[in-house]
Amino acid sequence: MYQQKDFVLTIEGLTVSFDGFKAVNDVSLYIEEQEIRVIIGPNGAGKTTVLDLICGRTKATEGSIKFKGKELTKLKEHEIVHAGVGRKFQNPSIYEDLTVFENLELSYPRGKKVWGALTFRRDQEVIDKVNEIAQMIFLQEMLSSPANLLSHGQKQWLEIGMLLIQDPELLMLDEPVAGMSVSERKQTAELLQRITKERSVLVIEHDMHFVEEIADRVTVLHQGKVLSEGSMEKVQNDPKVIEVYLGH
């Protein structure tokens, strides 16, 4: 039914069990180029675990994850990053003790080995790239301030920026607008629209208005399984989904 080459990410039969409890159970997922896919589902549905599995934080019990034809389940975390997958965590995780500039710089794709990091030089190319990304994530005024001074929403942006500077082909965002004000949400939605021109994005989100605004397609997870998939409209009208999730 699907043709392999159309998909950036192909997940088939993915299962992980923790002491017999299947947090993710036989999940299959196909993501196209430049698609924004949103995963929704009630708490404990296995959304974050799916992202953990893709980026190698958790090892799969069964199944395969193919990214541009490369099997990810066999790679280490940093190799998956080098393959072109970027991941933002649920709680913004940035380096509080470093400045915004340094935060972004550490994600710049050069000097990733011990020797490279020792001899890394901050040349014009790096400075330009950091400035460009800072502009994108609305932090150009904050470059030299320590990251712990940022607001919650700004930290979320900074982490997105740290991913953008790596220029990944697949960007995974775990609740990118959690804790953001209304205006920040709007800015984030615009940001996402803008950055997907060159890449695919996989988003976990609870905020339905936000989902409606950005999603090309939506996947509903429930108890570790795919419950429904399709456009937002189709999913919203699916009686199974209404029963477990949207119904209340």
Partner 1 sequence: MFADYTWAELGSIFAMQGFSGLILFSVLLLMALGLAIIFGQMGVINMAHGEFMILGAYITYLTSNLFSTYLPELFDAYFFIAIIFAFIGTFLLGALVEWTLIRHLYKRPLDTLLATWGLSLILQQLYRTIFGPREVGVTLPDWMMGSFQVSEMIEVPVNGMIVMVITLFITLGVFLFLQKSRKGKQSRAVVQNRAMAGAVGIDTARVDRFTFALGCGIAGIAGATFTMIGSTGPTSGQLYIVDTFLVVVFGGAASLLGTIASAFSISQAQSIMEFFLSGSMAKVLTLLTVIVILMLRPQGLFSLKVRR
Partner 2 sequence: MLQTKLRSLAPKNDVVSFLILAAILLVALPILFDIFRLNLIGKYLTFAFVALGLVLSWGLGGILSLGQGIFFGLGGYAMAMFLKLEASNPENTQIQSTPGIPDFMDWNQLTELPWFWEPFHSFGFTLFAIIALPALFAYIIGAAMFKRRVGGVYFAIITQAIAAILTILIIGQQGFTGGVNGITDLRTLHGWDIRTDSAKYILYFINVMLLLATLVAAQYIRKSKLGRLLVAMRDSEDRVRFSGYDVANFKIFIFCIAGIFSSIGGAMFTLQVGFMSPSLIGIVPSIEMVIFAAVGGNLSIFGAIYGALIVNWAKTILSESYPELWLFAMGAMFIAVVLAFPKGLAGIYESYVQPWVDKKLKAIQDKKAKK
* Alpha-carbon gap, residue 155 to 166, rounded angstroms: 17
Q: Which is nearer to partner 2, 122 or 234 (CB)?
A: 122
In DSSP terms, 127 is beta-bridged to: none
- Residue showing tokens 């477990």: 244
78 binds, among partner 1, partner 2, none (CB under 5 to 8 A by kind): partner 2
In our burial notation (b when 16+ CB lie closer than 10 A, e otherwise), range 220-242 reads bbbebebbbbeebeebbebeebe
Assess contact for 155 and 147: CB atoms under 8 A: yes
Instruction: Write out the two tokens for 64.
Output: 């395969």
Q: With binding defined as CB under 8 A, does residue 123 bind partner 1?
A: no
77 binds, among partner 1, partner 2, none (CB under 5 to 8 A by kind): partner 2
Fill in the per-residue mask, 15 to 34: x = in contact with partner 1 (CB under 8 A), - = not in contact: ---xx-x-x-----------
Q: Which is nearer to partner 1, 90 or 131 (CB)?
A: 90
* Alpha-carbon gap, residue 128 to 133, rounded angstroms: 9
Q: Which is nearer to partner 2, 85 or 241 (CB)?
A: 85
Smallest separation, CB 244 to partner 2 (Å) = 31
Positions in the binding site for partner 2 (CB under 8 A): 55, 57, 76-78, 81-82, 86-87, 89, 93-98, 102-103, 105-107, 109, 111-114, 117-122, 159, 162, 166
Q: Which is nearer to partner 1, 39 or 232 (CB)?
A: 39
Q: Which is nearer to partner 2, 52 or 184 (CB)?
A: 52
In our burial notation (b when 16+ CB lie closer than 10 A, e otherwise), range 2-38 reads eeeeebbbbbeebbbeeeeebbbbebebbbebebbbb
Q: Which of residues 32-61 bind partner 1 (CB under 8 A)?
A: 49, 52, 57-58
Which span sits near partner 1 by CB under 8 A: 13-21, 80-88, 150-158, 226-234? Answer: 13-21
Handedness of CA 168, 170, 175, 178 (dihedral sign): positive
- Residue showing tokens 């605004």: 213
Q: Which is nearer to partner 1, 46 or 168 (CB)?
A: 46
Interface residue list for partner 1 (CB under 8 A): 18-19, 21, 23, 49, 52, 57-58
